Structure 1
Amino acid sequence: MKVIITGDTHIPGRSRNLPKRLLDACTDSDLIVHTGDWRSPDVFETLSTFAEVKGVYGNVDGKEMRALVPARQLIDIGGLRIGLVHGHGEKKTTEQRAIEEFAEEQVDAIVFGHSHIPVIKYFKGVLLMNPGSPTDKRKLPFYSFITLEIGDDIRPELVLFQDKS
């Protein structure tokens, strides 16, 4: 199973369209996960043309996105129980807020966004993944998203690229 994990697309705003590099990766995906800050349901619609889309809303998402996706959710992907949340809030780091959001849940992984800083690491046996952003790298050198292959093993891979067109 191939899962594309993206988020913080901020369209319109940071870009007019999703980057070709991301869309190319979506063509053979089984599922697409979005960590919030879509800004427009058009992003959901575009991604839905490739595969089923699961996502949450972020702090910049308005009523339309909040009616379409929840603030947090637990999803089962290929036998993995994954917590999905944007990660915005006050105090602590984005990563700490995401971990606390699922502290009472039994999860194998937590996927979050908000910081635009890509992360793939383990914390106390839980796989943490933040795809960064394919449209707004801020002060980082690359735009990014994650491909997650789930089969006999689990292979998350951070995809870094420079051209967001």
Structure 2
Amino acid sequence: MPTRPPTRLLLLADTHVPKRARDLPEQVWRAVEEADVVVHAGDWVDVRLLDELEARSRRLVAVFGNNDHGELRERLPEVAHAEIEGLRLGVVHETGQAQGREQRASALYPDLDVLVFGHSHIPWDTTSATGLRLLNPGSPTDRRRQPHCTYMTATAEDGALHDVTLHRLGLGRPTTP
């Protein structure tokens, strides 16, 4: 019996279009086209990007962020939940300061396997003592104090997350190995 391929996820946050960039980088749009599910953890700034991602993605799971107002808050929830290939996924913009994040998130979201968040623009990948995986893809358009703009990809299959990859975009200052 043929098996289905894993579900491909694209994780985004803090796009700030058009405030920080006119549009998403072409590499990110290619990733949107390749993904089965696009996850956006807020701070869109302009509803135009939401419209375009809805039109160009197969499935969108998204929330609003602290810089999103008006129609974005009307159309998007503060917290989103989705089951993807048996994986219980949650999305929220803010999780508070880094210290104690795993414990706080585990207490707030005890029924999740993965929580995708944004706000800090700092990539994050940890697992709490309860097994909750916390992922922040950073920002593909506003690196702030990070060396690169970033986003993440992953796959979901049989209730588990696999192949989590942080992608660096060429929009930052070069780093030496």
TM-score (norm. length: structure 1): 0.89
Spell out, residue by residue over 1:50-81, the C-alpha distance to the aligned partner (whole angstroms, 9 max, x if none): 32211111101011100111001221122111
Out of 153-162 and 96-105, give the one that drifted further.
96-105
Offset, 1:95: 7.2
Counterpart in 2 of 1:109? 114
**Count of aligned residue pairs for this structure pair:** 161
> What's the C-alpha RMSD, in Å, of the aligned pairs?
2.0
8 Å CA contact 1:87, 1:94 repeated in 2 = no
Superposed counterparts of 1:19-98, under 5 Å: 19-48=25-54, 49-87=56-94, 92-93=96-97, 96=100
Rg larger for: 2
The list of structure 1 runs, each at least 4 consecutive aligned residues, that deviate by more than 2 angstroms after superposition, is 94-102
User: Residues 98, 53 of structure 1: CA spacing in aligned structure 2 closer, same or farther, 3 A cutoff?
Assistant: farther
SS of alignment partner, residue 88 of structure 2? strand
Q: Which runs of 5+ in 1 are unaligned?
A: none
TM-score (norm. length: structure 2): 0.83
Out of 3, 14, 30, which is 1:8 matched to? 14
Percent identity between the aligned chains? 34
Spell out, residue by residue over 1:111-148, the C-alpha distance to the aligned partner (whole angstroms, 9 max, x if none): 10000001122121111100100000001111101101
Offset, 1:39: 0.6
Offset, 1:101: 5.2
CA distance in 1, matches of 2:99, 2:32: 26
Q: Which runs of 5+ in 2 are unaligned?
A: 1-6, 173-177
User: Residues 38, 81 of structure 1: CA spacing in aligned structure 2 closer, same or farther, 3 A cutoff?
Assistant: same
**Aligned: 1:18 with 2:24:** yes
